[in-house]
Structure 1
Amino acid sequence: MLLGDTPFDAILMDITWLPKYARAGWLEALDDGFDQTEIQELTNGAQLGNIYEGSLYRWPLVADMGLLFWRTDLMEKPPSTPTDLVSISQELQRKKKVPWGYVWQGRQYEGLSCVYLEMIDGFGGQWFNPEGEKFGLDYQPGINAAQWLTNLINSGISPRAVTNYAESEALQSFKSGDSALMRNWPYAWAELQKEDSQVRGHVGISTMVSIPGVSQASTIGSWGFSLLKGSKHKDAAIKAFKYLTTNEAQVELFTEYGYTPTLKSIYQNEDLLNEYPYLAKLYGALSIAKMRPETPVYAQLSDVLQRSLSASFTDEIEAKSSMKNAQIFSEQIISAAGGGIQ
């Protein structure tokens, strides 16, 4: 692609890369291939992250969003606020029901950025406000989110080793019965129902906590198809995109492989809802899905955030200062990129 010539027609791409690829001129717009009726058939969450500068460049294959998994044998209902999560965790730990209250993705990688996005929104802030082109990392909600995550580690609610946890490590802790709560993605549900799961039949799904009066948030993750610039088979590629995202294909991807559907019709299928009751929870999470900053320099912004959070988690610097640094470096990245998020 860098050389302006590729033997391929299409690419399956993670949601955060679209602005970079579209701005670089590596993609063909899909506006002529999909109409508004087809777009409206997607769930609210699946409609996010497909458009750049007014044109459709990506068609979602599967959806993905952050979820809060909880032990139904240890609590009557999941926590809804940060305070609830802390108090429930500490009570279960005090009674020696579990070694750890809550596990999540604390390693210095993209999963940490997803965790933080849900918490800064949950505390009433925003990582980035596209309307005013302002970062909110060093505003009070951003600081509170970083401090809350840091406190989880320092108080022992989360293991100190959570700073090395990605999805698989968090899943293993929860699956083995060592944790009462876990932040992860929908794929974890099928893993938790396997015969080797110590919590099989005792797992519920909810969305991430938020302070009273503030809507909960779920980081949207998604893989979708894009058409590469210079494709010699544009019509055939778009036809393939449509075939692979039909209602029938979406049902098979969900029932056989556990991938989260993108079409509203799947979540309205009574037979599927009866057989897979948690499907309704997935739909609810998609309705509150939030995008990470949509910019060609997202990778740099995410790296800055991860490094700043890690510094706070390991007590190199206090949360307030770490978020101040993240704010300054993020503004510098945007300024160097031309002064605008696009």
Structure 2
Amino acid sequence: MKVNQLIKLLPINFFFITRFLVLVIFCLLLTCLFIIQSSSAEPVKITLMMQALEATQWEPFVKEFNDQHSNIELEVIEGPNATNQVEDLYTSSFLLGNSPYDLVFMDIVWVSKFAAAGWLRSLSDRLSKVDLAVFLEGDINGGMYQGELYRIPIRSDGGILYYRSDLLEKNGYQPPNTFTELINISHTLQEKKLAEWGYLWTGKQYEGLSAMFMEVLSGYGAFWINPYTLEVGLDSTKAIEAVNFLRSTLDKKISPMGVTTYAEEEVRRLFQTGNAVFMRNWPYAFGLLSDHSSPIKGKFKIKPMVHANNYFSGSCLGGWGLGITKNSQHPDAAWEVIKFFSSEEVQRRFVLATGYVPSRRSLFNDSDILTKFSYYPQLLNVIENSILRPPIPQYAQASDILQRYLSAAITNQLRPEVAMEKAAAETRYLLGKQKSNND
């Protein structure tokens, strides 16, 4: 090729080469810009609310989560310590629309209400049956509504019977299995002036009354509401017998009249003075009763609740878990939070730090946990025989009805049969089963 021909081609080749180089440089600049923007992008913020005390207990674990997840920022908002007020705040935010929460820290009795209202996302496709099997069965069942899973359990709970093992052993008694045995042992030890009171229970008009009564109902072979048929059993003969048992503990002075105003802490403090033989309470009390300053440290044990002859005891299941809100814009990030807090390692350290009951079965036999909480194998036996409060959307209203009429029965304002007939009628009206007779 002649020199003059090469000279003619040179500008064309130079043009294409220059254009190619500019394109390459432009692509490199775009890549760098994308990397810079990605690295400086704000992390996704995930928000939930919980009781103030629990929010404080979560602080080190929230920090750990945020340190491990640079792309997610978990923010925990402190709510009131009263759980019903926290429920009301969540409910209000959903009803007003555009709730700021991505996650809901839920009491087990909120699940049906929140799921039925369409406020939660189903979690059924995020875990297999094998994954769910590591949790307590009752806790998983408590997170279901109409066959869908809406809540992953973080911590469990269940009602238990505390008893003064020293007093029973010294007087030749085995722990009671029936209501009658509990009454008889109490009466005998009271007559011997070994204890002022026989049996302490939470009789205040609040949710704890409903939870406690669930166990007495179950122990008499009765039921409150069938969640599948919405049949109400409060006015059955067996249910009235359950109310009569509570009333008899007051009439026979086995229990102080003050229990009709007592919640968990009032009951726990009185039992801890050493002036009572039996107490129905939750697992949280064990650590307080075992404190080095406690007069009854090492003098008590736990067992499942008592029952009537030919029936079985049941522990009212409590506990808390996490669900993802329907309106969350970041459900995958919210799921990362749930995975972290429900993991075996985090739950193990959380239990050791707080004394709460785990929702994972394996942790009831964890060596570190057993060193600190030696009674956990017994506790597992209690919680595995648990009963759920009626998982219905109208639970809060149904519980309020029961509390009002049961409180009237145990304080002698209404005869037990009248109180339960009114409670049953009002509950049926609530559920659309009949017209109220109490109007």
TM bracket, shorter-chain basis: over 0.9
After superposing the two structures, state which structure 1 stretch, 167-176 or 5-14, moved more. 5-14
Cα distance in 2 for residues equivalent to 1:321 and 1:35: 48
Matched residue, 1:39: 132
For structure 1, the residue ranges without an aligned partner over 5 or more in a row are: 338-342
Other-structure match for 2:385? 288
Compute the displacement of 1:270 (Å). Answer: 5.0
1:103 aligns with 2:200: yes
Select which of 326, 347, 351 maps to 1:229: 326
- SS of the equivalent of 2:124 reads coil
Q: Which 4+ runs in 1 deviate beyond 6 A? A: none
Return the alpha-carbon distance in structure 2 between the equivalents of residues 303 and 275 of structure 1.
38
Matches within 5 A, 1:201-216: 201-216=298-313
TM-score (norm 1): 0.95
1:146 maps onto 2:260 in alignment:
no
Q: In terms of Rg, which structure is larger?
A: 2
Q: What's 1:22 paired with?
A: 115
**1:152–1:158: 8 Å Cα contact kept in structure 2?**
yes
Pairwise CA distance, 1:239: 1.2
Cα distance in 1 for partners of 2:396, 2:343 equals 32
**3-state SS, counterpart of residue 125 of structure 2:** coil
Q: Deviation of residue 129 (structure 1)? A: 2.3
1:84 aligns with 2:181: yes
C-alpha contact 2:227 2:392 (8 A) present in aligned 1: no
8 Å CA contact 2:347–2:358 kept in 1: the answer is: yes
> Is 2:165 the partner of 1:72?
yes
Structure 1 window deviating more from structure 2 (320-329 vs 166-175): it is: 320-329
Task: Letter of the 1:26 partner, please give it.
Answer: W
Superimposed CA distance per residue, residues 225-278 of structure 1 (whole angstroms, 9 cap, x where no aligned partner): 010112122111111111111111221122221110111111243564465331
Mapping of 1:1-342 within 5 angstroms? 1-76=94-169, 77-269=174-366, 272-273=369-370, 276-335=373-432
Q: Which has the higher helix share?
A: 2
Give me the whole-angstrom Cα distance separating, in 2, the residues matched to 1:20 and 1:271.
37
Stretch of structure 1 that moved more, 268-277 or 221-230: 268-277
RMSD: 1.5
SS of the residue corresponding to residue 358 of structure 2 reads: coil
What is the SS of the residue equivalent to 1:323? Answer: helix
Whole-Å separation in 2 of the counterparts to 1:31 and 1:207? 32
What are the superposed Cα offsets for residues 100-143 of structure 1, whole Å, 9 maximum, x if unpaired? Answer: 10111000000000111000100111112234431111111100
Alpha-carbon distance, 1:295 to partner: 1.0
- The question of whether the paired residues in 2 share the 8 Å contact of 1:44 and 1:286 is answered with no
Identity level (%): 38
Q: Does the 8 Å contact 2:155/2:356 carry over to 1? A: yes
| Residue ranges of structure 2 left out of the alignment (5+ in a row) | 1-93, 435-439
The residue aligned with 1:340 is: none
CA deviation digits over 1:8-28, x for unaligned, max 9?
A: 210101111111111111111
Letter in 2 for 1:326: A
Q: Distance in 1 between matches of 2:120 and 2:133?
A: 23
CA contact (8 A) 2:365 2:376 kept: no
Q: Which amino acid aligns with 1:41?
A: V
Range with bigger deviation, 14-23 or 124-133: 124-133
